[in-house]
Amino acid sequence: MKLFKLLVPVWIILLLAACSSTDEVQKKTFFLWSPDVTGSIEQLKEVQKTQKVRQGIADTGENIAYLYDAELYVAVHSYLNFVPADERPKAIEVISKELLDRKRETEQAYQDSSNKYHAAFNAQNKYISVTQSLIAKYEKILESKK
């Protein structure tokens, strides 16, 4: 009976330790989880190459831009998970500025073009290239945190 009384607290401690480590694994797994849109982007790029009509090319490009934006969203939110709470407001301010800069650069690319079709195409390409740069920036930061 004494042995049982001694072992019960040990079992409880081991059980609690196992539960907390499972929670940590679950939290880490959740925070590392993110959808992978790379395959969809590559597929759409291939579809875009075969498009013959300008509107189809533009629509496919727009979908590619949306997927890159989704990829950026995931990268930024993953990054923010690693930023200490007291530093998050500053980090969010920097991200907001980067997004405004992307908007301005996209608008400038549109305005710098000679005709409407080229304007939309150039703006779309600028949006995608700036978004890709931001994704690379945040993925590089995340890699350094691992």
Same-domain check for residues 75 and 28: no
Same-domain check for residues 86 and 131: yes
Same-domain check for residues 86 and 15: no
Q: What percent of the chain has pLDDT over 70?
A: 70
Same-domain check for residues 49 and 12: no
Global pTM reads: 0.70
Same-domain check for residues 78 and 136: yes
Same-domain check for residues 68 and 138: yes
Same-domain check for residues 92 and 127: yes
On the question of pLDDT at 48 being above 90, the answer is no
- DSSP assignment of 79-116, as one string? HHHHS-GGGHHHHHHHHHHHHHHHHHHHHHHHHT-SSH
Cα–Cα nearest to 59, from 130, 109, 120, 11: 120
Q: Please write the tens of the pLDDT for every residue from 63-122.
A: 888 889 999 999 999 899 889 999 999 999 999 999 999 999 999 999 998 888 788 889
d(CA 27, CA 69): 25
Same-domain check for residues 94 and 109: yes
d(CA 50, CA 23): 48
Number of domains in the chain: 2
Q: Determine phi and psi for 17, rounding to 5 degrees.
A: -65, -40
Residue that the structure tokens 């001694």 belong to = 6
Residue that the structure tokens 């709470």 belong to = 85
Same-domain check for residues 73 and 135: yes
Same-domain check for residues 46 and 11: no
d(CA 84, CA 77): 13
Quote the domain boundaries for residue 2. Answer: 1-33
Cα–Cα nearest to 102, from 120, 78, 126, 80: 126
Same-domain check for residues 11 and 66: no
Same-domain check for residues 123 and 137: yes
